[in-house]
Amino acid sequence: MTTRTIAPPGTALAVEGGTPVSRSAVPFMSTALTPADIDAATAVLRSGMLRQAARCEELEKRFGAMSGAAHALTCANGTCALQLAYEALFEPGDEVLVPAWSYIATVSMVVARGAVPVFVDALPDTFQIDPADAARKVTPRARAIAATHLYGGPVDIDALQALAGRHGLKVIYDAAQAHLATYKGKGIGAFGDAVTYSFYATKNLATGEGGMVTVNDPALARTIGLLRSHGETDKYLHERVGYNYRMNDITAAIGCSRLDRLAAQTDARRAVARRYDAVLGGIDGLEAPATTPGGEAVYHLYVVKMDLKKFRRTRDEFCAALKAEGVPTAIHYPRALPRQPALARFDKNDTPVSLDLSTRVFALPIHHDLSEDHLRTVGEALKKVAGAYRA
Ligand X SMILES: Cc1ncc(COP(=O)(O)O)c(C=O)c1O
Q: Which residues sit at the interface with ligand X, rule CB under 6 A?
A: 77-79, 102-103, 105-106, 148, 174, 176-177, 198, 200, 211
The SS3 of residue 89 is helix
Question: Which residue, 22 or 251, has its beta carbon nearer to ligand X?
Answer: 251
The distance of closest approach from Cβ of residue 106 to ligand X in the complex, given in angstroms and rounded to an integer, is 5
Q: Nearest residue by C-beta to ligand X? A: 78
Question: Which residue, 105 or 357, has its beta carbon nearer to ligand X?
Answer: 105
Question: Which residue, 108 or 377, has its beta carbon nearer to ligand X?
Answer: 108
Question: Which residue, 199 or 276, has its beta carbon nearer to ligand X?
Answer: 199
The distance of closest approach from Cβ of residue 190 to ligand X in the complex, given in angstroms and rounded to an integer, is 20
Query: What is the sign of the dihedral through the CA atoms of 60, 64, 69 and 73?
Result: negative
Question: Which residue, 282 or 334, has its beta carbon nearer to ligand X?
Answer: 334
Report the chain's C-alpha Rg in angstroms.
22
Torsion angle, alpha carbons of 277, 282, 287, 288, to 10: 0
The distance of closest approach from Cβ of residue 195 to ligand X in the complex, given in angstroms and rounded to an integer, is 12
Contact status, residue 272 vs residue 372, Cβ threshold 8 Å: no
The distance of closest approach from Cβ of residue 108 to ligand X in the complex, given in angstroms and rounded to an integer, is 9
Q: Which amino acid is at 209?
A: E
Contact status, residue 68 vs residue 62, Cβ threshold 8 Å: no
* CA distances in angstroms from 342 to 105, 110, 337, 359, listed in the order given: 11, 12, 9, 20
Question: Which residue, 105 or 227, has its beta carbon nearer to ligand X?
Answer: 105
Q: Which amino acid is at 239?
A: E
Q: Rounded to whole angstroms, how far apart are CA atoms 72 and 60?
A: 5
The distance of closest approach from Cβ of residue 331 to ligand X in the complex, given in angstroms and rounded to an integer, is 14
Q: Is the peptide bond before 333 cis (omega within 30 degrees of 0)?
A: yes
The distance of closest approach from Cβ of residue 73 to ligand X in the complex, given in angstroms and rounded to an integer, is 14
